[in-house]
Amino acid sequence: MKMKDEVMEKNDEVVTCGQNHVPVSVCSADCPLGYKRILKRGIHQCCFDCAQCSEGEISNETDKASCQKCPEDRWPNDKYQCVPKPIEFLSFENDPIAFVVSIFSVLFSIKTLIILVIFILFRETPVVKANNQNLSFVLLVSIMLSFLCVLLFLGRPVHITCMLRHTSFGIIFSVAVSCILAKTIMVYMAFEATKPGSSWRKFIGVKINNFMVLICSCIQILFSIIWLCISPPFPEVNSYTYLDKIIIQCNEGSQLAFSIVLGYMGLLAAVSFIVAFLARNLPDSFNEAKYITFSMLVFFSVWVSFIPAYMSITGKNTVLVEIFAILASNIGILGCMFFPKCYIILVRTDLNSKDNLLRKAHGRH
């Protein structure tokens, strides 16, 4: 009798328990935010695993069967909320390097202007007159403007800056390299004209250097005009290279035109280097060929390393590589060709005389 009462009490407890608590009918807990359900194969559909949403997707509700992809201009925040993607470009506000680069650009343009003023003030001295002072003036102005072109690469890209970045630098730097080429050829012609019976004498009075600079520069201007008319550069919103940010960049438009503009500058520099290298052992009165050789070596070193770096990186780092190449090549030309002359003009004034130049020339013979 006692045992029967105990069994009845237990049954009452079971009934009471069944009335107060709902039995669990699933074998998995609900998936949290940022996760989705994945059914277990071969098991009832109430049994599942929870998998984290893929990159670029969110799940803003618990126990969701699938994740939702964020729009192109948004990115998941902790996998359950889409927030705007950060925008990346070389900004003055967020990138101290942009401010540093702009300071460098302005400072070196001012230094170039100072050198130009020095050359103008001492334009009647032998060192300035030895290698065509007019070409030196044009070359210095071109280098100064090339330094200022760096400012076009800074800030948020817009239509006008994208169109002017490479075209303006290509034209200005082509003028500079054309001046160097004309200087190199004039050095060689002037030395050859000193030989008895030389046929080069009849070309000395002719303004070949002016025509050379004009023609070489006009060719680059023509390339740039065709580029701007057919397929000009334009600002581009790049949201596909990186999933977590948007890159505002300049699309070159026509890669062929961009390559032609750079290739033409390289061609002019190569010809200048070859002619200067061949004329490097001329008498000291015409020794600018040595400076040109070194400046073109710097130019080639910079731009040969620029090409693989430019092809392998994206975003604002691409702009930084371009800026470095422009600054380094201009500094190389300015330092190799004009700093030694400024040293002679300002410090070693005893060397800045016609007698000294002629004495060195006769000493070489």
Kindly state whether residue 18 falls inside one of the protein's structural domains: no
Dist. CA 273–CA 165, nearest whole Å = 26
100-154 per-position pLDDT tens digit? 999 999 999 999 999 999 999 988 888 887 767 888 899 999 999 999 999 999 8
Kindly state whether residue 91 falls inside one of the protein's structural domains: no
212, 185 Cβ separation under 8 angstroms: yes
Kindly state whether residue 39 falls inside one of the protein's structural domains: no
Q: Domain check: are 212 and 253 in the same one? A: yes
Whichever domain contains 193, its CATH number is: 1.20.1070.10
Q: Domain check: are 76 and 180 in the same one? A: no
Instruction: Count up the domains in the chain and report the number.
Output: 2
CA dihedral 83, 88, 91, 93 (to 10 degrees): 30
For residue 175, give both structure tokens: 């003028």
Kindly state whether residue 170 falls inside one of the protein's structural domains: yes
- Whether the per-residue pLDDT at 8 is higher than 90: the answer is no
Residue 287: closest CA among 229, 176, 363, 218: 363
Kindly state whether residue 6 falls inside one of the protein's structural domains: no
137-147 per-position pLDDT tens digit? 999 999 999 99
246-265 per-position pLDDT tens digit? 888 888 888 899 889 988 98
Q: Domain check: are 55 and 185 in the same one? A: no
Q: Domain check: are 185 and 162 in the same one? A: yes
Residue 114 one-letter amino acid: I
The larger pLDDT score, comparing residue 245 to residue 324, is at: 324
Dist. CA 316–CA 94, nearest whole Å = 12
221, 175 Cβ separation under 8 angstroms: no
290, 320 Cβ separation under 8 angstroms: no
Domain final position from 84, 110, 145: 84
Q: Domain check: are 103 and 159 in the same one? A: yes
Q: Domain check: are 215 and 338 in the same one? A: yes
User: So what's the pLDDT on residue 348?
Assistant: 77
187, 279 Cβ separation under 8 angstroms: yes
Q: For the chain, what is the mean pLDDT?
A: 78
Q: Domain check: are 52 and 163 in the same one? A: no
Q: Domain check: are 63 and 157 in the same one? A: no
Kindly state whether residue 307 falls inside one of the protein's structural domains: yes
Residue 85: closest CA among 246, 242, 241: 246
Q: Domain check: are 310 and 168 in the same one? A: yes
319-347 per-position pLDDT tens digit? 888 899 899 999 988 988 888 888 888 88
pTM value is 0.77
CA dihedral 174, 180, 185, 186 (to 10 degrees): 120
- Whether the per-residue pLDDT at 37 is higher than 90: the answer is no
Kindly state whether residue 247 falls inside one of the protein's structural domains: yes
Residue by residue, DSSP assigns 269-329 as HHHHHHHHHHTTTS-GGGTHHHHHHHHHHHHHHHHHHHHHHHHH--THHHHHHHHHHHHHH
Q: Domain check: are 100 and 73 in the same one? A: no
Domain final position from 35, 64, 84: 84
Strands 68-69 and 57-58, sheet pairing: antiparallel
Kindly state whether residue 255 falls inside one of the protein's structural domains: yes
Q: Domain check: are 57 and 114 in the same one? A: no
Dist. CA 365–CA 361, nearest whole Å = 7
191, 279 Cβ separation under 8 angstroms: yes
Q: In terms of residue numbers, what domain contains 150?
A: 96-364
- Whether the per-residue pLDDT at 85 is higher than 50: the answer is yes
Q: Which residue has the tokens 């001329």?
A: 282
Q: Domain check: are 55 and 163 in the same one? A: no
